[in-house]
Every structure is written in C-alpha cells, then in structure tokens.
Structure 1
Amino acid sequence: MHKLAIEVKDIKKSLQDRDILKGISFEVEQGDIFGFIGPNGAGKTTTIRILLGLYKYDSGSATIMGRDVADDEARKKVGFVIDGDGLYDNMTAIANLEYYQMIYEKSVDKKKIGKVLELVGLADRARDKAQTFSKGMRQRLALARALVHDPEVLILDEPTSGIDPSAQLDIRKILLDIVQNEKKTVFFSSHNMDEVQKICNRIALLDKGEIKLYGHLDELRKQMGKNVLTVHTSSEINQDNLDEIKQKKDFGFYKIQDGNLLFTPSINVKTSDIINQLVKVGIEVDEVAKKESSLEEMYNNIVREAEDK
C-alpha cells in the first residue's frame, strides 16, 4: 500500500457567500506526479491555497505527510511555485536561494544550493542576476527555490504557463527527475491537457467545486470507454447543420478542428448512425477515423456535459 503525501477529505469552502468547494476528496500518493485540472473558476486555486495553509477550510480535513495543512511542520515539508515566479530581480540565482533557504532553515547550505542549481540546469548561471534570465530559466530557478529546503512535496500552479515548448520540455524533464531520483511527490495544476497527459500518472478533474474525474490516468481512459470519432468532410459546415447534429446529444459532438467534425459518442451509438445523420443534413463524409480518447477529450466531454445540465 502506498503512503499518502496529500489527503483531502470532504473539504468545503465558501468565499463571499459563494460555495467554492462542495465537499471534495482526493489522495496523492508518495511518488505521484498528480495532475489537478479544471476550468477557470472551478476551485483549483482555492484548493491550493488551502493545501499551503493560506486559507482555512470550513469543514473536512486536509493533511500533508500526515500532518494538518495548518501545522508549521506540514508547511516545512512543502515547496511551491504559485502566482508567478516570486524571484528578486536584482539578486543572483544563488542569493535568491540563500534568502529562501534561511526562511526555512535559518542557515545557508551552499552544498544544497549547488545541488538544486545543478538539478535545474542553472549551475553555470549561479552568479547571474535573475533579471537577466529568460522566462523558462526563471521558472527553473523558481523550481530550485521550491526545492532548496529539501521538501517532500512540491505544489506547482501552472509552472509552464507562458514559456516556449523547449522550456516546457525542460521543466517536464526536471519534474520527472525530481520524482524518480529525488523521491519527491509533485502536485501539478495546469490548463495544458497535453502536458498533464505526458507527465502525470494520476489526476483529479475539478469542475464547479466538485471532483468529476479522479484516479490513475490509464485506468480512467479505459473506464471512460469513449473513442474519439473524427469525420473528414469536404462540405461546407454551416450553423444549421451544426444545430441539427448538436440535438443528437448521444453523438457527443464537441468541436470542429481543421475542418473536421469531432465526436465522443455514447457507447450505444454506431458510427453508421452518425454518418447517416451527417449525410441526411447535407454533410458529405469523405473519411472516418477512430482513436482512443485523450485526456483533453475526456476533459472537454465532462465539462461540456456539466454545462448542458
């Protein structure tokens, strides 16, 4: 049985008379890269602030490494990157890390600082000021800062937002290294479904203050049982056509991509049913392709269903 790094049980939280979290529960096992996903306004930031001890929950319980999130000992076990990189521009990489290390440990360990700078690939820029760093380098330094007191858990809110694909790849490699070789646990909040799918082994999807999808990613894809049907067409697709197709809720139409129609049909819907309906409304079908549902497609399907209710 895996030990738990984070355990959230029936957490409820209201802000300004609005229910933000409606009794959410999830567990993050030690060694996970846990993806925490959901649309804007779902309650992700509130959850993260509760885990960091910045908000007090109204009811339920939340622990990190077995300690309540409000406990100072729990906070010492967490490193985090939220709300931008939080770096001091006029300080060198080393000075930034020394400052944060003293906050946690009240002393400077140059060996540990050197190790984390090496880990994030910034050892050769250690004496350069943060203001000279690119966005991707700043994010790597922010990760180093989160690691400098040797926490057991990392909580990261959109750590690759606004950086180029090459820098995103760098961050992914660092996170995998942290988990595999440094034996850390990563709680990873992101809007980038492709990135979450590439790096996370377990996920929770939060929507309107409730957990709508939760568990091992590979198992969820099997359980969802939804294949994506891509219909290639050379016909012009007008709004009247779309309106008729959307009326067939079990067809699971959710978007047009590169001139193609994408569906996540219910299990009882045959491909021929969809083709016949398309032809009936005047859409010429050139080719049909099926593939296993991706995390993005599962996400879109669940959020769309919630919006339809």
Structure 2
Amino acid sequence: GFALDPDGLYDNMTAEENLGFYARIYRVSDVGQRIAELLKAVDLSDRAQDKVGTYSKGMRQRLALARAMVHEPEVLVLDEPTAGVDPSGQIEVRQIMLNLAHQKNKTVLLSSHNLDEVQRICNRIALIDRGEIKLYGETDSLRRGMSSGTVVIETASEVPQTILDELKSLPKLGLRENQEKRLIFSPQEGMEVSDIISWLTERRVKIEGAARKEATLEEMYSAMLKEVEQI
C-alpha cells in the first residue's frame, strides 16, 4: 500500500466514498465493514460523511493511511506522512503508524527528512545520499555504535575564555558549544568522557557533572555528509 503526495483523495467525495472507491478497485469483500474498521482505526468515524475537501491536513493524512490499508497489504510505503501537519496531528499520524507496525504486524517503510521523527518511531533506518545507501541497520545499535556522540560537561562556574580558546584549537576534543556553565562536545573517535574531564581538571576547571549522550540521527547524517564531502 502507498500513501504519497498527492494523497490520492477526492475533495468532492466523503471519506466513506473515497474508501469505498478504492475498496472496489481492489475488490475488497464486505466493503461497508472494511470502511467502518478503517475509519475507526484512524479516528475519523465521526467525519465519515463529510467531504474530504473540508478536512485539515492532519485529517487528510490519516485518511490517506486508511486508503493505503484498504486492501490489507503486508507492506506500507509512506512518503513524508506528517509533512505540513500541526504538532497534534503529527502525534496522531505517528501513533497510527506505530499501531500498524506493532498491533497489525505490518511492515512500514517511511521516507522522511524529519530525522527526529524517524528516530522516535523506526527500529531500522537507511541513510541515503544521492540515491545510494550510506548507512543501514538497527536504529539503537547504530546510535550506540557511533562513538563520537555528544558529551555534556557541567561546570561549577563559567570557563575562562583562555581555556575555551585552547579547547577550540583541539579538534579531537570537539568542543561544539559553550552555554555558561555547560560545555557540549562532539569528540572524535577514540576520545572518552574521561579524557575530556582529565583535560579540564588539569586546568583547574571544577566539574559538577558529565554525561555521554547517544548520537542523534541528525548527528549521524551530518557525519555521513562530511565523509562524502571528503571523498
């Protein structure tokens, strides 16, 4: 099943009529029952008789998911299903996708530029550049395996500018941001949190806390692009 842009819905037809049209194309048995099930699944039962032209973007996306599911496909291909949808609508669409995967045991292939969304709901990812897969695997494993990640150091007071300047001259430590009493690093491979702490304590910077965060998909994507640029 596919849910692409444009969504394939007819504005001058109701939700029921749209789903009925596609159900008959796919020769779905017991069309009425199937439509009722789908509208309930995407929480549009109360708008079943309304013309789709009156729907919000989020409602259209939910109905598009129902249309894609009308013939019970095993695989769903979704292209930017939350693009242009308000925050509450995005949450609803994401929940429908999760329900399809976890409760209905469907394979959902999501194409999206929203890496935060992908990180939240996908258990496997493929990062693609110029039509070529550059990175593929389980989301959590890839994030854990990216050794640079992000390191956050909390300090007792603001770090002197002389030390900040010295930090900036050391790319292996990867100082990324200075926020008053917080330093954020993206260290190079092989550098540990303890290395950063040792460097700072040698310069008498009092540290109150330190933590390594797993790399985000955005960081992984940025790293991938840098590698491509160096080729």
TM-score range relative to shorter protein: 0.7 to 0.9
Equivalents in 2 of 1:203, 1:148: separation in Å?
26
Q: Choose between structure 1 and 2: higher helix proportion.
A: 2
Larger radius of gyration: 2
Matched, 1:220 2:142: yes
TM-score by length of 2: 0.79
> For residue 143 of structure 1, what is the aligned residue in structure 2?
65
**Identical-pair percentage:** 50
Q: Is the 8 A contact 2:151 2:185 kept in 1?
A: yes
> For residue 129 of structure 2, what is the aligned residue in structure 1?
207
Aligned 1:42-81 pairs, distance under 5 A: 79-81=1-3
After TM superposition, give the deviation of residue 286 of structure 1 in Å: 9.3
Aligned 1:79-94 pairs, distance under 5 A: 79-94=1-16
Q: Is the 8 A contact 1:153 1:185 kept in 2?
A: yes
After TM superposition, give the deviation of residue 302 of structure 1 in Å: 2.1
Matched, 1:290 2:202: no
> For residue 111 of structure 1, what is the aligned residue in structure 2?
33
**Residue identity opposite 1:161 in structure 2:** A
Equivalents in 2 of 1:106, 1:209: separation in Å?
36
Equivalents in 1 of 2:227, 2:183: separation in Å?
18
After TM superposition, give the deviation of residue 288 of structure 1 in Å: 5.5
Rate the CA distance shift 1:271–1:107 in 2: closer, same or farther, 3 A: closer
SS in 2 for 1:98: helix
Matched, 1:160 2:113: no
Q: 1:124 aligns with which of 27, 42, 46?
A: 46
Q: Is the 8 A contact 1:120 1:174 kept in 2?
A: yes
Rate the CA distance shift 1:235–1:124 in 2: closer, same or farther, 3 A: same
Higher relative contact order (CA 8 A, sep 6+): 1
Matched, 1:268 2:190: yes
Matched, 1:188 2:110: yes
Rate the CA distance shift 1:236–1:88 in 2: closer, same or farther, 3 A: farther
Q: Is the 8 A contact 2:78 2:108 kept in 1?
A: yes
Mean CA deviation greater in 293-302 or 151-160: 293-302
Q: Choose between structure 1 and 2: higher strand proportion.
A: 1
Please give the root-mean-square deviation of Cα atoms over the aligned residues, in Å: 3.4
**Residue identity opposite 1:163 in structure 2:** V
SS in 2 for 1:171: helix
TM-score by length of 1: 0.61
